[in-house]
Chain A
């Protein structure tokens, strides 16, 4: 019940195309849904995040769509660029009373080709 399922495992998109990564969760206690971007040899870095009372959030080329009833959320990267090539993790957060505990999806390796 604590799992976050993420798909696809890998994705190849042409420059200028749209990258779409999907995640699903089961635990309704999750209260915040961030997406992290990770480049090789680096730690995950927050990309964009959404609260479950919002259906969509857009920041530049990145958009999260959130479907609370289906317990699904997705990341859309518009006009994908080679510099977007990285691993993307969706995550779900629970407040434990002693911090924010993140449960990560399995990751999607995105490659944007010229």
Chain B
């Protein structure tokens, strides 16, 4: 069964450092998303990406965040200068299309710990 894969599963970084979280969405999917989940809290939308550009972003997704699809398979989230409050589980998701009855498939997540 096709799945969204994320690497690494756990990343520890020093405050102020840059991190790149990587995702391989399902191959025929066209829409890509990043969500985050702070420990014990709800899953929050960060950004959606379609046709090589950001289509929607939340207020969390400030100038410290960027996304990229550097090739035909990877989708990355970069945090330029990490803060303690960036510590969370980051989930990548993808959908084949936009519309009703369109399931979002989530990866297993990358746990980011900023120390």
Contacts and interface: CB of A to CB of B under 8 A. Distances in A.
A60 interface: no
13 contacts: A36-B106, A43-B106, A43-B109, A51-B100, A89-B42, A96-B55, A96-B56, A96-B98, A98-B55, A100-B104, A101-B33, A101-B48, A107-B43
Contact of B104 (A41, A95, A102): A102
A100 B50 contact: no
Size class of the contact patch on chain A = 20 to 34
B42 A106 contact: yes
Interface residues of B, number: 32
A98 B54 CA distance: 8
Contacts of B107: 43
A45 B1 CA distance: 13
Interface of A: 31-32, 34, 36, 41-46, 49, 51, 89, 95-107
A86 to B, nearest CB: 14
Contacts of A51: 100-101
B103 A46 contact: yes
Contact of B101 (A32, A97, A99): A32
Nearest to B55: A98
A89 B43 contact: yes
B1 to A, nearest CB: 11
Contacts of A32: 100-101
The 4 A-B residue pairs with the shortest CB-CB distance in the complex, in nearest-first order: A98-B55, A43-B106, A99-B48, A99-B31
B67 to A, nearest CB: 12
Nearest to A107: B42
B95 interface: yes
Contact of A99 (B42, B43, B55, B105): B55
